[in-house]
């Protein structure tokens, strides 16, 4: 008698393989599975042994992992049972598949593993499955691993936003991202970038957990500032260096436009000089450096605002709060000599947010790590051709950035 059997490839508990059929030149196979009557059936709802079998003979067709190059399908016979605990008729529990799902758990897990590195559409085409089936399977595993917000061991946070989409006027759909600064783990993402959005994150924390947060890095976005001040009044708010310099870049561009309108003779030199003035000097080509030098020589006001940009960066290099404060006050006095309304507003903004700039001396943290993460999140979004489900996008983001080993922060 032959000992060959395919049953070993289907080690599913409480059921047995009874036969198989092969179709279309071994391109697909149907494997027939029945309940093993040596075991009492389990209720699907509570997974307790059922009292009696309510009805027999029900069948489901499931897709399983391929057998070599052949698609593998299971025809599973299952029963409806009466559960005394649930006080009703329930479907028999099958440990290798989920109710309502048309694929086995191991195929769903394989699809989930592929989705970590490949777009859902590519995985669906590779496995010959509907894209919705693959997305549902991937999401189920992600929810089991990342569905609950992990608030443990949070000490330093970075908060920023990512645009799911936006128009040229800045209006769009945003997600707020909260990062554990020490590990690089995405802790939480919420739709919107208002005060209420970040409030939702803090409201999920215990009062003691909020007290343990020492510092939060962010840009000068009032809704974020208000939320942190309301829920973590003892945490130091640190304004990100990149956003401060980026805001000053808008001052430079505004001055450039004013000078272009005013100085008719200098227009040929000023025209197209925006990115010359905003680009870091060490990234300029020789031709760009020569043109920038010519521009700064012929326009004193642009030369002044350009030099002030480099001096503004130096403020963030201080580790002593008093020295940084004196440097900031000196910078504001020099910048005040530039007669331009946009510069006046920028100086007022710096003075208003001085506390967060000086907090960088004690807590040298920033949102720069989040800027890099945002770039990768945009890549994930592009691979998916956009996410119509922000919750699924959040799960994918948490999977991509689970965090590294925690390190000790040194101020």
Helix (H, G, I), strand (E, B) or coil at 88: strand
- Residue 1 confidence (pLDDT): 42
The Cα 219–Cα 237 span in angstroms is 10
Q: How many residues does the chain have?
A: 411
Encode 293-304: b = buried (16+ Cβ within 10 Å), e = exposed.
eebbeebebbeb
- Residue 268 confidence (pLDDT): 81
Residue 92 has pLDDT above 80, yes or no: yes
Give the helix ranges, DSSP H, for 95-146. 105-115, 120-127, 131-146
- Residue 337 confidence (pLDDT): 92
The Cα 80–Cα 101 span in angstroms is 17
Q: Who contacts 373 (Cβ-Cβ below 8 Å, separation ≥6)?
A: 177, 179, 184, 186, 401
Q: What is the pLDDT of residues 180-191, one digit of tens each?
A: 999 999 999 999
Give me the half-sphere count of Cα atoms (radius 13 Å) on the Cβ side of residue 213: 30
| Average of per-residue pLDDT values in the chain | 88
As beta bridge partners, residue 30 has: 21, 73
Q: What is the pLDDT of residues 317-367, one digit of tens each?
A: 999 999 999 999 999 999 999 999 999 999 999 999 999 999 999 999 988
Structure tokens at 392: 């699924």
The single-letter DSSP state of residue 103 is B
Contact between 244 and 311 under an 8 Å Cβ cutoff? The reply is: no
Contact between 338 and 304 under an 8 Å Cβ cutoff? The reply is: yes
- Residue 277 confidence (pLDDT): 83
How deeply is 155 buried, as exposed, middle or buried, from its count of CB atoms within 10 A (0-12, 13-18, 19+)?
A: middle
Residue 285 has pLDDT above 80, yes or no: yes
The single-letter DSSP state of residue 212 is T
Contact between 57 and 77 under an 8 Å Cβ cutoff? The reply is: yes
- Residue 242 confidence (pLDDT): 87
Q: What are phi and psi of 291, to 5 degrees?
A: -70, -40
Q: Name the nearest CA neighbour of 387 among 129, 138, 113.
A: 138
3-7, 71-75, 158-162, 344-348: the lowest-pLDDT one: 3-7
Structure tokens at 309: 């940009």
Q: What is the pLDDT of residues 48-57, one digit of tens each?
A: 888 888 888 7
Rounded to a whole number of angstroms, the CA Rg of the chain reads 31
Strands 70-83, 88-91: pairing kind: antiparallel
Higher pLDDT, 165 or 297: 297
- Residue 188 confidence (pLDDT): 96
Q: Name the nearest CA neighbour of 127 among 71, 173, 208, 183.
A: 71
Q: What is the pLDDT of residues 23-35, one digit of tens each?
A: 878 888 999 999 9
Greatest mean pLDDT range, 59-68, 117-126, 345-354: 345-354
Q: Name the nearest CA neighbour of 307 among 288, 289, 331, 275.
A: 331
pLDDT band at 168 (very low <50, low <70, confident <90, very high): low
For the chain, the maximum distance between any two Cα atoms, rounded to a whole number of angstroms, is: 101
- What average pLDDT does this structure show over 237-250? 91
Contact between 156 and 167 under an 8 Å Cβ cutoff? The reply is: no
The Cα 185–Cα 146 span in angstroms is 11
pTM of the model: 0.82
- What average pLDDT does this structure show over 234-260? 91
């Amino acid at each position: 008698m032959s000992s060959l059997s395919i049953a070993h490839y289907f080690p599913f508990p409480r059921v047995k393989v009874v036969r198989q059929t092969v179709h279309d030149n071994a391109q697909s196979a149907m494997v027939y599975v029945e309940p093993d009557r040596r075991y009492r059936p389990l209720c699907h709802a509570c997974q307790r042994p059922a009292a009696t079998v309510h009805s027999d003979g029900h069948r489901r067709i499931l897709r399983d992992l391929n057998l070599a190059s052949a698609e593998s399908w299971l025809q599973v016979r299952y029963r409806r049972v009466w559960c005394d605990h649930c006080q009703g008729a329930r479907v028999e529990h099958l440990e290798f598949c989920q109710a309502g799902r048309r694929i086995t758990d191991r195929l769903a897990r394989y699809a989930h593993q592929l989705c970590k590195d490949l777009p859902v559409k590519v995985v669906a085409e590779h496995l010959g499955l509907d894209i919705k089936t693959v997305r549902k399977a991937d999401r189920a595993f992600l929810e089991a691993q990342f569905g609950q917000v992990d608030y443990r061991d949070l000490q330093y946070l970075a908060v920023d936003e990512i645009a799911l989409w936006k128009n040229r006027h800045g209006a769009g759909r945003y997600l707020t991202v909260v990062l554990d600064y020490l590990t690089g783990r995405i802790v939480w993402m919420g739709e919107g970038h208002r005060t209420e959005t970040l409030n939702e994150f803090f409201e999920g924390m215990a009062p003691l957990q909020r007290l343990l947060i020492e510092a939060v890095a962010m840009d000068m976005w009032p809704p974020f500032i208000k939320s942190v001040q309301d829920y973590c009044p003892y945490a130091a708010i640190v304004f990100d260096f990149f956003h401060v310099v980026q805001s000053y870049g808008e001052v430079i561009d505004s001055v450039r436009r004013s000078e272009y309108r005013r100085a008719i003779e200098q227009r040929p030199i000023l025209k197209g000089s925006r990115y010359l003035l905003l680009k870091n000097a060490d990234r300029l080509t020789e031709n760009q450096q020569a043109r920038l030098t010519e521009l700064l020589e012929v326009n004193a006001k642009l030369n002044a605002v350009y030099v002030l940009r480099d001096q503004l960066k130096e403020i963030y290099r201080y580790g002593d709060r008093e020295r940084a404060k004196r440097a900031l006050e000196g910078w504001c006095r020099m910048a005040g000599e530039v007669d331009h309304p946009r510069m006046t507003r920028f100086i007022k903004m710096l003075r208003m947010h001085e506390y967060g700039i000086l907090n960088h001396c004690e807590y040298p943290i920033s949102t720069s790590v989040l800027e890099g993460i945002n770039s990768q999140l945009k890549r994930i979004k592009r691979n998916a051709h956009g996410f119509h489900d922000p919750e699924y996008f959040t799960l994918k983001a948490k999977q991509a950035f689970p965090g590294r080993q925690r390190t000790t922060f040194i101020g």
